[in-house]
Chains A and B, each alone.
Chain A
Amino acid sequence: MQEDPGLYAYWPYENRPKITWPGGARLAFWVAPNIEFYELNPAVNPHRRAWPRPVPDVVGYATRDYGNRVGHMRMMQVLDKYNVRGSISLSTALCEHHPEIIELCKERNWEFFSHGIYNTRYTYGMDESQEKAMIEDAIETIRRHTGQQCSGYLAPALTHSDITIDLFAEAGGIYTCDLFHDDQPTPINVRSGKKFVSVPYSLEMNDTIVYVVNKIEPRRYGEMLKANFDRLYAESEESGLVMCIPLHAYQVSHPHRLRAFEEALEYITGHSDVWVTTGREIAEYYLEHHYDEAVADIAAKGAA
């Protein structure tokens, strides 16, 4: 274990090189639906139990399954209405289990990125070759079922090793959603020296964190999203920022919750100068236009 993940240098928010987005937009806005498969009786990882109750944990399993049976279609209707393309954090085994959902996402030209094989298979305890195999399996599964090159990573159930991001970069990835240290994309140091970025995802705006961990009321979640947007939008007059809403259809698509989310989405997309985009497009644009300048600035400030 190490004191610091070694992925980035301290780089203060103020006085950075200015970020601009396509078309003069101030704020890049993306929505990341997690499309997940949880196993009823998964192989046991000695470092983390999959379910709090003895198998079958009916409530835990069924709660997640609701997203696949009911939730995704409701969420798609809302995202369609406001012309938002999802960037899917995908349990890639879902391509095999529920190809109908994958087809609906493909029809919408949504982005697929890796969230592991199952959300009940954890990185903990894997050696390098095992984690590499899991990452490559997921990338290949996305390629085979969607034709897309997987660009982004959110580790399954947010379980990491010290080399997760190194391995993903070596497998061809260009961005990670696993880091919550900034409101702008930032260069990430990987052992191969490849260009790689962190694209701001958000734990605070993540519906599962909101509903399950922080136990927030549905209408208040809508207000939180608007407040998050308002401040980022205001600050983005100075330099481009990113807002992300990570979603889980088994949380936000419940009938007592979806309307409040929709109101927030309507509000956000009702603003001009908002680049409604995907994780990959943000990463690619940043790598091409801002990455080198950021690296130089970080180096200069670190030396000062």
Chain B
Amino acid sequence: MPIDPSYLEYPHRSYGMDHEHYAWSMLTSRSPVAWPDNHRLAVWVNVAVQYFPLNQEGKPFAPVGGMTTAYPDLRHYTLREYGNRVGIFRLLRAFDQFAIKPTFAVSSRLAERYPYLIRRLVERGDEIICHGWHMDAPHFGGLDKEDEAALVEKSLRVLREATGQPVEGWLSPSRSQSEHTPDLLAANGVRYMCDWVNDDMPYRFETAAGALTAMPLSMELEDRFIIQANLHSETEYADQIIDAFDYLYAESSSTNGRMLALSIHPWVLGQPHRIGELERALKHIAGHDSVWSAGGMEICTAWQAAQA
């Protein structure tokens, strides 16, 4: 099939990005960011508390971590449920043991289904952010804007009502967005989103409804990515987290902090044979002085304050 001559035209071939979402900038060229108490490294642990419906439609793509067999896929449905019933409580103990302050990204549908779990997380006082309606309700290019607006509004409203928290952070299911998602998030009171994994620090993200802060939640360091997608062992997982921590700790200073963003899943690390390796990584992190374990909004706020 021949190629249209327009294939050799490059309308965005000019300085900066090929879109208007954010300004081009290199990490090394930015003004320094000092964290509270001049801690060198902010450690942001984001726990994805997810609901995967059994009757998954998988359109336009199957959710990451979703059902894979013909209906009813009881094996994957229940393995994911294991995270919400059992695994998360192992994670909570590990966080408390090492004084790690987690942030929970919750599928809003869970607030309707498992009010006990939501109450338990709210009582801890940790920040809760919205992880979309559920894992089979993706935001994607081509999704009707009105439909997406209703999806965003419902997801945030239900979770805010269930938690009593402002719910100012957002992680899209499967980290997928449409061309309208950031605009809709900003219009609905979201202040930071975690999907764009193009940096090791927060940055300003423009929308039609005002600026958001992009808080890059590393996918390369995600438990699911390392263990389930790459098929590395749980020991390897902990080694990689430790190596990442050591690298960023060395790169950071008291006047120019860095951020270690860990994305974890109760259905991955909450398994009995894996939790010990998470604990090993957290112990390593907690063994360093200049570490600030903080929620996503705290880090976002501190970063914003440093931009003035």
Contact = CB atoms under 8 A, between A and B. Distances in A.
Interface stretch (B21-29, B66-74, B122-130): B21-29
A254 B17 contact: no
Give the top 3 A-B pairs by smallest Cβ distance, nearest first.
A54-B141, A256-B244, A65-B198
A66 B199 contact: yes
Given A40-B18, A126-B3, A59 B219 contact: yes
Interface in B195-232: 195-200, 216, 218-221, 229-232
A258 interface: yes
B197 A59 contact: yes
Interface in A90-104: 93, 96-101
Contact of A97 (B2, B13, B243): B13
Nearest to B172: A58
- Indicate the member of B197, B219, B231 with the most A CB atoms within 10 Å: B197
Given A121-B7, A130-B5, A255-B243, 14 more contacts: A54-B140, A59-B176, A62-B197, A63-B220, A96-B13, A96-B15, A97-B17, A97-B24, A99-B15, A117-B10, A126-B3, A127-B2, A254-B221, A259-B247
A256 B241 contact: yes
A69 B197 contact: no
A69 B220 contact: no
B31 interface: no
B198 A63 contact: yes
A285 B179 CA distance: 51
A281 interface: no
Interface string A31-62: 00000010111010111000011111111011
Given A55-B141, A58-B195, A59-B176, A100 B26 contact: yes
- What DSSP secondary structure best describes chain B's contact surface? loop
Nearest to B178: A56
B4 to A, nearest CB: 8
Contacts, number: 155
25 contacts: A40-B18, A40-B19, A46-B3, A56-B141, A58-B196, A59-B176, A62-B196, A65-B198, A69-B199, A70-B26, A73-B26, A96-B14, A97-B14, A97-B17, A97-B24, A117-B13, A121-B10, A126-B7, A133-B8, A215-B230, A215-B232, A217-B239, A218-B243, A255-B245, A256-B220
A34 to B, nearest CB: 16
Point out which of A52, A59, A63 has the most chain B C-beta atoms below 10 A from its C-beta. A59
Nearest to A118: B10
Contacts of A46: 1, 3
A101 B26 CA distance: 9
A226 interface: no
Nearest to A212: B230
B243 A259 contact: yes
Interface of A: 37, 39-41, 43, 45-47, 52-59, 61-66, 68-70, 72-73, 93, 96-101, 117-118, 121, 124-127, 130, 133-134, 137, 215, 217-219, 254-260
B26 A255 contact: no
A125 B1 contact: yes
Contact of B244 (A45, A97, A254): A254
B166 to A, nearest CB: 24
Interface in B111-157: 140-142
Contacts of A256: 220-221, 240-241, 243-244, 247
Interface residues of B, number: 62
B272 interface: no
Which of A56, A68, A257 has the most B CB atoms < 10 Å from its CB?
A: A56
Contacts of B230: 215, 217
B15 A45 contact: no
Contact of B142 (A54, A68, A100, A217): A54
B28 to A, nearest CB: 5
A96 B14 CA distance: 5
A237 to B, nearest CB: 35
A45 B25 CA distance: 29
A121 B12 CA distance: 13
Contacts of A124: 3
B232 A69 contact: no
Nearest to A76: B28
A62 B198 contact: yes
Nearest to A73: B28
Contact of A130 (B3, B60, B232, B236): B3
A125 B244 contact: no
Given A73-B28, A100-B26, A53 B13 contact: no
Nearest to B197: A62
Interface in B172-205: 172, 175-179, 195-200
A55 B179 CA distance: 8
A217 B240 contact: yes
A73 B3 contact: no
A69 B198 contact: yes
Contact of A69 (B1, B25, B244): B25
A63 B196 CA distance: 8
Contact of A43 (B6, B15, B16, B140): B6
Contacts of A219: 239, 243
Contacts of A217: 230, 232, 236, 239-240
